[in-house]
Every structure is written in structure tokens, then in C-alpha cells.
Amino acid sequence: MIADKGSTRLETKEGWRNFRPEIKDELCVRCNICWVYCPDLAIYTEQGDFTARGKKYVLAYRVDYRYCKGCGICANECPVKAIEMVRE
């Protein structure tokens, strides 16, 4: 029995990556898609005041690099190509 729910959080996965996603906040239209499709719960939202493409937003998408395995699904699905996969 494992009583510690969600304890895989203690095992980070940054060593799995060859590429890391970099979200270009100034290009992001806050469509939510990268957050929806991440298999590793490595994309989260940060509250605040942001401006991108001339519009104001109350949140921005960030990558939790502890858990990102660098699969690139976020970059592939981003409709405005705001995510770039950069070699580690």
C-alpha cells in the first residue's frame, strides 16, 4: 500500500529532456491548448497582469521544468507557434 497520495511529485523528470519548451509570452493568445494536452502536468498558469499582442490578460502559461519531459506536444499543438523547443 502507498499511503502518500501524489507522491510521484517527489521524483522530478528533468533528466528525461533533450529539448525544453519555451513559451514566448508576448506571442501567446491564452488559448489553453498547451495546458490541456501536456501529459505530464508540466504546464501551469500564473496569475497576474500581462500584455501580449497588444491585448491584456490576467494569466500566463508557464512550464514546470521539474516535470517536463520535453515531448514537444505543446509546441506542436500551439496554434500561434508561441512555443519553441530549445535544445537543453
Partner 1 sequence: MRMYTEERAPSKRNFVKDVLALTSNHAVAYAVRSLDVDVIASYPITPQTTIVEKLAEFVANGELDAEFVNVESEHSALSVVLGASATGARTFTATSSQGFLLMHEVLHNVSGLRLPVVMAVPSRAVSAPISIHGDYSDLMTGKDVGWIVFICASAQEVYDTVLQLYAVAEDERVCLPAIVAYDGFLMSHTMERVEVYRDDLILEFAPKRVKRLLDPANPVTLGELALPEHYYRYKYSQLSALDGSREVIRSVFKSFYSYFGIEYDFVERFKTEDADFIIVVYGGASWGNAVEAVNITREKGLKTGALRIRVLRPFPIKEVVDTLKNVKGFSVVDRAISFGASTPGPVYADVVVSLAEYGLSIPSVCVIAGIGQKVMYVSDFVRVLEELVKGKEGVILL
Partner 2 sequence: MIKNIKDLPREELFAPGHTMCSGCGPAIAVRWITKFIGNNAIVVNATGCVEVTTTIYPRTAWEHPYIHSLFGNTAAVAGGVERAISVLSRKGKWDSGDTKVVVIAGDGGTYDIGLQALSGTLERGHRVLYILYDNEAYMNTGIQRSSSTPLYAWTTTTPVGEKVRGKQERKKDIIGIVLSHGIPYVASASVSHIVDLGNKIEKALSYLKEGPTFIRIFAPCVPGWRYPENKTVEVARLAVETGYFPLFEWEKERFRLNPPSNGLVDEQRRVPIVEFLKLQERFSHLSEEQICAIQDEVNRMWEKIKEHLK
Q: Which residues bind partner 2 (CB under 8 A)?
A: 2, 4-13, 16, 31-33, 36-42, 45, 64, 66-67, 69-73, 75-77, 85
Span interacting with partner 1, options 1-9, 43-51, 60-68, 71-79, rule CB under 8 A: 1-9
- Residue keyed to cell 517527489: 10
Examine residue 10 and tell whether it contacts partner 1 (CB under 8 A): no
Long-range contacts of residues 40-44, Cβ cutoff 8 Å, at least 24 apart: 40/13, 40/67, 40/68, 40/69, 40/71, 41/67, 42/66, 42/67, 42/68, 42/69, 43/74
Residue closer to partner 2, measured from CB, 10 or 56: 10
Q: Which residues bind partner 1 (CB under 8 A)?
A: 1-3, 5
